[in-house]
């Protein structure tokens, strides 16, 4: 079974281009993004970032993490409807975390009951 992979080299190259365009040092990137300098060094050495560091760097830089995921032959895959709904509910600033979970549970139960077999 093929699996998706993260193209760390391409991500780091884009991150470096962003850093350079902003005339920042790597120390400043660490301070501004909230990612430790040692994590940035590990990424530069080819190690993949942990998910929280990746999220912080993507948020700081405006890069799209999806652009660095190589799909392993699954390019025709569409996300499941419930996965998309869950993502939107949890990202909705008008909902508390508990509210998003409650809505998600209701939607999942309803979807399971009425979906086509």
Question: Domain range holding 94?
Answer: 81-114
Q: What is the distance, to the nearest Å, from the Cα of residue 16 to the centroid of all Cα atoms in its chain? A: 18
Cβ neighbours of residue 47 under 8 Å, at least 6 residues apart?
8
Q: How many CA atoms lie within 13 A of 85 on its CB side?
A: 13
2-53: pLDDT as tens digits: 578 899 999 999 999 999 999 999 999 999 999 999 999 999 999 999 999 9
> Are 98 and 62 members of one domain?
no
> Are 63 and 104 members of one domain?
no
Which CATH number goes with the domain that contains 10? 1.10.260.40
59-111: pLDDT as tens digits: 999 999 988 888 766 556 677 888 888 888 888 899 999 999 999 999 999 98
> Are 86 and 59 members of one domain?
no
38-47: pLDDT as tens digits: 999 999 999 9
Please say whether the beta carbons of 32 and 22 come within 8 A: no
């Amino acid at each position: 079974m093929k699996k998706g992979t993260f193209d760390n080299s391409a991500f780091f190259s884009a991150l470096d281009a962003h850093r350079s365009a902003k005339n920042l040092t790597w120390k400043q990137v660490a301070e501004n993004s909230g990612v430790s300098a040692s994590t940035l060094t590990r990424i530069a050495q080819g190690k993949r970032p942990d998910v929280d560091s990746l999220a912080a760097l993507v948020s700081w830089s405006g890069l799209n993490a999806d652009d660095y995921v190589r799909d392993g032959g699954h390019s025709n895959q569409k996300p499941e409807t419930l996965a998309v709904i869950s993502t939107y509910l949890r990202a909705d600033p008008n909902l508390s975390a508990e509210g998003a979970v409650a809505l998600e549970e209701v939607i999942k139960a309803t979807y399971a009951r009425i979906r086509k077999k």
